[in-house]
Amino acid sequence: MARISYGSVTQNSVILLVVELNTASTYSEVYITINGQTSPNLAWGGNGNSSSRQWQATGLSPGTTYYASYYISTGINSGSGGTYITTDSPPQDTTAPTINYQSATGIGLLRLGWSAYDNSGGSGISYYRTYVGSPNGGTDTLVVKDTLYAGATSAEWTLDANNNALQVNMWYWVGVRVYDVAGNSSLLTYRIQFKRQRPADWSWGLTFTSGQNVNITASKWNDFTLRINQFRFYQGLTNYSFTTVVSGNPIYAYQINEAIIAIRAMNSNILSNQYSGQNAVATVLTSISSALNNIT
């Protein structure tokens, strides 16, 4: 009695056979079907009778079970049947994918960029998990923050491991772990110092003559002290309480000294305090603005 059998099986193909055909019969139809594919009519013609006919099915998926069936007919009698066949599974992937450092920044936030690829013949990258640590902590403080899709190439953090705001000038460990489809993974870690966005350099927008008194407007001086406080914020310091200059009044030594003191907390390489009663002179104003602009 005819039945279906199979020969070579791979991840994507199988050789199927209808066997134990009656060689005394003349078949008009012999078909094999699997996964929506049906063979050509395998009924013998001028080659003589045979007890089996075969056909190779391709385009199958690895590690998948299919139902293969046959149909035969002599024009008077017919028969059919089938069996289940499982294609070969791919080799088990036990090698972790690779992830490499590309770039990092700590200006305004923490950002890490990477490149990643799966090993040759691997199961493919599945997803990433990102980590961030505590201020000035070690890698043991890293905690999971996000899960990213397989095509991601960078991650950003604005909060630390405890969901607190990042602290200026503190160092943080960050990390990214890449996973492949088989569950293998590898971790990239990097240490980044957090800094705020640096303010623009200060320019008086005036032409100074060395040693000469300078007539600075109240609004210009107040803008300068505002820029100093912007630099102090950038450095993680509190605002300095400057004396507000009123329009029409000159800039005296005590106001210049406030600027010197406020800047000295960020850059010790600045001139000494001025004598009481002195007016603003070009050399002094140039010196304190240069000290401010030299802050990195």
Structure-model confidence comparison of residues 167 and 271, the more confident one: 167
Q: Which domains does the chain have, with CATH numbers?
A: 3-86 (2.60.40.10), 98-193 (2.60.40.10), 218-293 (no CATH)
Judged by average pLDDT, the poorest of 157-166, 195-204, 269-278 is 269-278
Using CA atoms, how far apart are residues 10 and 5, in angstroms rounded to an integer?
15
Q: Which amino acid is at 5?
A: S
State pLDDT tens for residues 126-149.
Answer: 999 999 999 999 999 999 999 999
As a whole-number percent, the residues of the chain with pLDDT over 90 amount to 62
Phi–psi pair at 193, nearest 5 degrees: -95, 130
Q: Which token pair is 1?
A: 């009695």
Mean pLDDT for the stretch of residues 214-223 = 85
Its sign, for the CA torsion 251, 252, 258, 260, is positive
Q: Which token pair is 189?
A: 């870690």
Using CA atoms, how far apart are residues 247 and 253, in angstroms rounded to an integer?
17
Q: Which pLDDT does position 47 carry in this prediction?
A: 47
State pLDDT tens for residues 81-102.
Answer: 999 999 998 788 889 999 999 9
Distances, alpha carbon 95 to alpha carbons 114, 128, 189, in Å: 19, 16, 20
Q: Which token pair is 60?
A: 């199958």
